[in-house]
Amino acid sequence: MSKKLYVVGVGPGTEKYLTNYSIDIIRKSHYIIGYKYTLNTIEHILDRSFNNIFEITMKTQEQVYLNVFNDLMKDGDICTVPFTGDVNFSESEVVDRLLDLFGDENVEIVPGVSSIQVASAKSRVPLDKAAIISFHVTGDIEDKKISLVKSVVDNKSVILVPRPWPSDKLKNFMPSEISSFLKEKGVDTTKIDVWVFENLANNKKENTYKGKLNSLEGKTFSDLSVMVIDQNKRQTYLEF
């Protein structure tokens, strides 16, 4: 018996994209460690008389993971770390740390529905016909910016999560900066369609913006946004 960790995607925004498999895992978990936004999504299935719940921030997470793994868990105990959307998209900085701590053989990664998938569905831009980019990383994004330009110049659609950086605006790479950046690189931003989806799947706050890429300059969007640069050309089987 070992200490078991489930890394679980719990759907963006609300519980409606939560899978039954994730619900079963959460219900049987002795320990649940998550960010406030993610814990809110699963609040309705938490049982505080059974689940020991730890709310973390970026600053406290390492200490809490170590405390739960080293001091609190016994062999056979189950811990779950829920992530927003799909664990396999734009979460690797934390997931890789958890794999190191618990050991690969003791971790099951459970996929969820990503905000990227919801944006794909709403914009009708299929994932397989788009470049998917996360700028929501701590490290350097210069290579990702080059891929972005290349995809746009190659007439591909792009579905991306921008980079909010509240404590240092120079590190922001939000829709406004993305639009200006592409213009600087010679892209005619007046011609390209764009969507920005804010607070997806949140009935009270969800908002969809649609316009040309240049119209994003100077506009502010929520940190919880997905942007779709839409150059999609529909093509059915009747054409082949």
Distance CA 159, CA 212 (A): 15
Distance CA 133, CA 181 (A): 15
Q: Give the strand order in the sheet containing 225-230.
A: 130-134, 157-161, 225-230, 193-198, 207-212
Distance CA 107, CA 5 (A): 5
Report in angstroms how near the CB of residue 18 gets to ligand SAM at its nearest: 13
Q: Binding segment for ligand SAM among 20-28, 88-96, 124-132, 169-177 (CB under 6 A)?
A: 88-96
Footprint (CB under 6 A) of ligand SAM, residues 124-153 = 136
Is 94 in contact with 20 (CB distance < 8 Å)? no
Report in angstroms how near the CB of residue 52 gets to ligand SAM at its nearest: 24
Mask for 90-109, x = binds ligand SAM (CB under 6 A): xx------------------
Alpha-carbon separation of residue 182 from 40, 139, 151, 208 (angstroms): 36, 21, 11, 22
**Does position 84 bind ligand SAM by CB under 6 A?**
yes
**Does position 175 bind ligand SAM by CB under 6 A?**
no
Is 2 in contact with 77 (CB distance < 8 Å)? no
**Does position 123 bind ligand SAM by CB under 6 A?**
no
Options 77, 86, 177, 230; binder of ligand SAM; rule CB under 6 A: 86
Which residue, 73 or 151, is less far from ligand SAM as judged by CB? 151
Residues that bind ligand SAM (CB under 6 A): 12-13, 83-86, 89-91, 114-116, 136, 161, 164, 197, 199-201, 223-226
